[in-house]
Chains A and B, each alone.
Chain A
Amino acid sequence: MSTISEKELSDFRNDAAAWFAENTNADPGFMLPLTFMEVGTDQQFNFLRDWQNKVYEAGYLGAAWPKEYGGGGLDQKFQTIATEEMARANGPIMLNAIGLNWAGPLILDMGTDEERKRYIKGILSAEDIWCQGFSEPENGSDLGNAQTKAVRDGDDWVLNGSKIWTTQGNYAKYMILLARTNPDAPNKYAGLSFFLSPMQVEGIETVPIRKLTGEYGFTQTFFTDARIPGDSLMGKEGEGWLVAMRTLEYERGVKGGQPGGYVMRASDPFEIVELARKATRGGKPALEDPVIKDQLIQLMIEARSLQLNSKRGHIQPLVQDKPASLALSSKLMATEFMRRLNEFAITLQGQRGAYYVGEPDAYDEGLWQRAYLNSFSATIGGGTSQIQRNIIGEHVLGLPKS
């Protein structure tokens, strides 16, 4: 194994810093989405697709993925540096979240060589947008009960049913899809299979879902006798649950293999300090109110908790009692923290907390109100916080199933 010199790393960092300083446009004149789930207009989509492509072409995305499939073939340390510099320059998010953080790691981990060659480069370049088809209108948290059917017909599969909460479904070229291939299997899990399904085929229709914010970003996807090729099947027939659980591990942060960058921008308690300076209480800045100060400090502490937990997760002697604990709790902690942080930012504003995006007098253009409403996408999506508590209770603490 060749060792990497400090000089190589610092040169790389300098280059990356210069590149992001030169190429980052954090304010294109319209509101940029804070998360990949908030891409609601073509203008936002096109901007972010170009941005991801540019970052990839410069070598700052997928730098540690294998070169033969389109990655940079470098050590993970380089990608970590690139991501840090992206954040330092306040760079917009990476668009193709499902591809980068779910499908990509899965295909690299479990896919065939053929699949890697076909899909990985398009994921990194944002040429091929990916979406996820797990949840169904009647089966949100209970993924194992998915009812969308895939029936073999000659070399093809024929899909019927419906998926919901398909992020960027209207833009996607591919979907990672969990479908029922055997309704008579001995248990509900054994009847499921996993597909890397094309989206632009006859019989697949996406209908935008209007979110609680009034904006778009998700679709419902309808399958009506949609015919997809036989080689769309990932892994073996009947092993869909296994593959889906593996995918959720990438999502929940248990497994590595991420290409870098970020698909969500976290609000920062330090930005709220600025807000607390502007807002007033009793003729004085809200920041001078002892109760507000106490709450602000508590939120700052929690922001640090997230950073420190992720760092402690790499120190083996400090996680040996319950090895899966920190990874399995990170989604719950991070998403609930963001929800409460944004909520607090609204209450801080006094009467003006009741303004919303579009009102010229709203603090920070109504960003906090919108972010709060949007924050539920993360506390609900990918397994609700309540399901997360079941997972931690059962898999970390060993409590009986609910």
Chain B
Amino acid sequence: MSKKATIGFSEEQAQLLEVATTFCRDKSPIEKVRSLIEDERGYDDAIWTEMAELGWLAIAVPEEFGGIGLGMAEVVPVVEQMGRAMMAGPFVSTTLAAQAMLVSGTDDQKQKYLPGLCAGTKAALALSEPHGDWDLGHVECTAERAGDTLKLSGRKTFVENADTADLLLVSVSLDGAPALVLLERSALPEGALRREVVIDETRRSYQVTLDGAEVSTEGLLDSALTAAALTHVDMCASLLLSAEMCGAAASCIDYTVDYLQTRKQFGKKIGSYQALKHPIVDAHVGYEQARSHLYCAAFNFTQQGEGEVATRIAKAQAGDALSFAADRAIQFHGGFGFTYDCDAQLYRRRSLWCENQHGDAAYQRAKLADLLL
């Protein structure tokens, strides 16, 4: 770790931050978030189309493949604001699938799929398995060659929005090593999907049973680059989860502060009591730190070494910050905080999802220890 950490903010990031703040606030008020919890799809397809039209799916894809030619740094403010408004849907998974394609797709695959992924084709990531290991290289699902066809087997877990995705990016073990395969959802056999019961009810997560699925070897990404692609996806996912958690922490703190400013007990507004005031300040200060690390990670993301360090720090800090803020949010709402109607539970449930995807804070610190000590 260089002793001097750096941070910067581009004109494009500033513009996207401004547009995304307004868009997400307007399109995803809390009543909408709650109504989508009851909806099978879990997100609004009309809003998805609008996001595609705004070009948000194309941000980090080069112009030659139909993208805008910016980087992950510019995706960060968008996802941060989506997190702030508790939005759900396949935006992140589609962005990540495009990133995997950019690293290890063949030229033909890039030409064939990237323009679609920029324009609104939905992709899901099937990289996790029942063993629950955060190491994406730990792959037990298999693919066997049969001529020009691959026969897949095994079970994938935590596949977000698998039911409405057009494409699935699946990791399998092929010839004894991890490989990535792009699969049309229509190629999955009947009954392959089972909706998982997950703690964050705004999300739609599926198990995908691959047994019986067949795909042409044309769907195979360059196997020499699988490890690089998985590492890149892991880092991009960690960065965007950090953004989502920072955004959620900001609105969670606002939500709690609002209650502390209005609720009265013993004749005084409860926010005047230091037993509540001081911990909410600690939550706020924790969020501010996490946000600084987030934009440091965004700024340094493409730097060899420093990019990984900054991203892992961002993931650890954002996880701790949101977790603390949301935990205290429940407590500080008192009896109301124990009810389903109080939004505090939405934040806490979301934090427990986000923290436990792609490595929690302790896992990130252990990785950082390997890198820095």
Contact = CB atoms under 8 A, between A and B. Distances in A.
A318 interface: yes
Interface string B348-373: 00000000000000100110110011
Nearest to B268: A400
Most buried by B among A304, A332, A392, A401: A304
B182 interface: no
B228 to A, nearest CB: 26
A307 B289 CA distance: 10
Given A296-B373, A300-B1, A398 B261 contact: yes
Interface string A321-334: 10001100100110
Contacts of B372: 297, 300
Contacts of B14: 317
Nearest to B3: A270
A390 B284 CA distance: 13
B292 A305 contact: yes
B291 A389 contact: no
Given A270-B3, A389-B274, A333 B257 contact: no
A301 B280 CA distance: 21
Contact of A317 (B17, B282, B317): B17
A400 B280 CA distance: 13
B5 A307 contact: yes
A4 interface: no
Given A294-B366, A297-B372, A317-B9, A325 B274 contact: no
B284 A397 contact: yes
A302 B368 CA distance: 13
Contacts of B365: 293-294, 297-298, 301
Contacts of B257: 397-399
A402 B366 contact: no
Contacts of A111: none
A367 interface: no
Contact of A392 (B8, B13, B271, B285): B285
A301 B285 contact: no
B316 A301 contact: yes
Contact of A333 (B4, B269, B277, B285): B285
Given A309-B289, A402-B273, A402-B274, A393 B362 contact: no
B298 to A, nearest CB: 11
A7 interface: no
A402 B288 contact: no
Interface residues of A, number: 40
Interface residues of B, number: 47
A1 interface: no
A172 to B, nearest CB: 34
B18 interface: yes
Nearest to B314: A301
Give the interface SS of chain B, mostly helix, strand, loop or mixed. helix
B230 interface: no
Given A308-B296, A402-B272, A326 B277 contact: no
Interface string A382-396: 000010011011001
A304 B274 contact: no
B210 interface: no
A399 B362 contact: no
A293 B271 contact: no
Most buried by B among A296, A311, A386: A311
Contacts of B293: 301, 304-305, 308
A287 interface: yes
B144 to A, nearest CB: 40
A242 interface: no
A318 B289 contact: no
B179 interface: no
B186 interface: no
Interface in A228-250: none
A312 interface: yes
A252 to B, nearest CB: 14
B284 to A, nearest CB: 6
Interface string A273-300: 1000000000000010010011011101
B111 interface: no
A333 B281 CA distance: 11
A329 to B, nearest CB: 5
A399 B260 contact: yes
B61 interface: no
Interface in B20-42: none
B253 to A, nearest CB: 8
A401 B1 CA distance: 42
Contacts of A287: 373
B267 to A, nearest CB: 12
B271 A399 contact: yes
A290 B368 CA distance: 12
B356 to A, nearest CB: 18
Given A294-B365, A304-B313, A399-B260, A273 B373 contact: yes
B6 interface: yes
Given A273-B373, A297-B368, A398-B257, A307 B271 contact: no
Counting from the closest, the 5 A-B pairs by CB-CB distance are A308-B292, A399-B271, A305-B289, A293-B369, A400-B272
Given A304-B293, A389-B274, 11 more contacts: A300-B372, A305-B289, A307-B5, A308-B296, A311-B5, A318-B291, A325-B284, A390-B274, A393-B271, A393-B278, A402-B273
Interface of A: 270, 273, 287, 290, 293-294, 296-298, 300-302, 304-305, 307-309, 311-312, 315, 317-318, 321, 325-326, 329, 332-333, 386, 389-390, 392-393, 396-402
